[in-house]
A and B are shown apart, each in its own frame.
Chain A
């Protein structure tokens, strides 16, 4: 078992008073709390900080820890408490805080002493509901147009003869029409099993709508960027563009600028009875390669056109 130096974790000295410990904890909590910094992932660092604070803010726990720190054996083989420590500190009730999600080291100190039977798993209350489980389900943008039946695969830990084993679970789930990226769907009783006859937790499905190679999403609307050749934009044309469930022909007016937005009503996403639109944004593209004939035509146009795209810059040049 790994020894945890709670003073080092909080960055305080062994004679720090409660006020200093609180200041150090709050500073680190702001820095590492997983709800404030989801990109850091996991929150393991914060768990360690919270555990250290749980011990050092409480005079009794701190006194126990100080004793272990002074007399325990922190060799490379793992931490061992001083001889006789278990008999002196064992309590049948354990510490109420030991039911929380703390390390084996913490639970061993504060939930019944250094008994080897505690090393294989967390101490658990006699009767408790199982934990909720969160899993991600990826779906395509097209699949959000209609209600879907999707199969979700996930793993759940089960206890068998004191050992924890992961079992694979599979559920068929109705995904409603118009589901959005980031939405959470709750499935009652499909989370981790309870302890001592307690109810199982819930499964929360975190919906991830995969990005589409052509369409972007803004609330109910879809955005499509339409590349046009310069002559199509200048002379006007008809272009067939894809929608999520088919295609539509657009009339491009003469002299259409890059960035112009065309609205195709009712071709967006369907959500909660509302139907979004498809917005087509024009992007005029210059041909990447040229040849003599094309250059000659551009030069001819340049000579005959009075167009100055930088006319508004006049006073700065």
Chain B
């Protein structure tokens, strides 16, 4: 199980490297690690999602028995979590690093720890723990078991063995590893706030922090999400996306249909942040998104079986 000597290799590698501790380097290193492992390095899904799980490279690819290894950065939008850039570590927009390994290889935990070592994370000075946290996304009919990985009391990664997607048991069990990039960076750079993360690794007047790059975005989007977004437009869009999803499924265009579902979900999240969705309505919207997602997953599975 243990890759003999792997620990030493990575730690010495990092010492040799004249590394610059920056947000962007951390991402480069992760990309390199997972590319070397054999993942296809993809790019973010170019529509608003709440988590890397919603990328079709996770959801749809997790269905069926086709093998699939992929990794990518995914910007995530959670309108409710906006704090007008006033909270040091809560934002409505943040980055996940998403890895999907299907099937889960032997000992993915050690592989994950190696990936941390590869980005220069000194494991011996941190308390890393695997704390039970099962994951469930009823709207995708998805469920899995796993852990949240704690570093010194902070959750830095979600680690999940999918057991079911689209209401169907996985015949080849994938593991999904979702890194919280800002949180890991705050540990590596020993800063207190996400906004203080050194983004480009410069220490001179060309230095750019996370705040320099994204603070204004965060402020303006908090205002948009909570105070200004057009409710009528969002309501209309939700209905449009829902209709389009059905129509596309009828044409057996599953990936475009799935995209409508993702978009509808974001509209719903915005409406929720605007505070116009009562609890009863909330359940209704969620059930509509769930129905869309389920239909897409089912159609995808049917397509795979007939192939």
A binds B: no
Binding site for B on A (CB under 8 A): none
B interface residues (Cβ-Cβ under 8 A, vs A): none
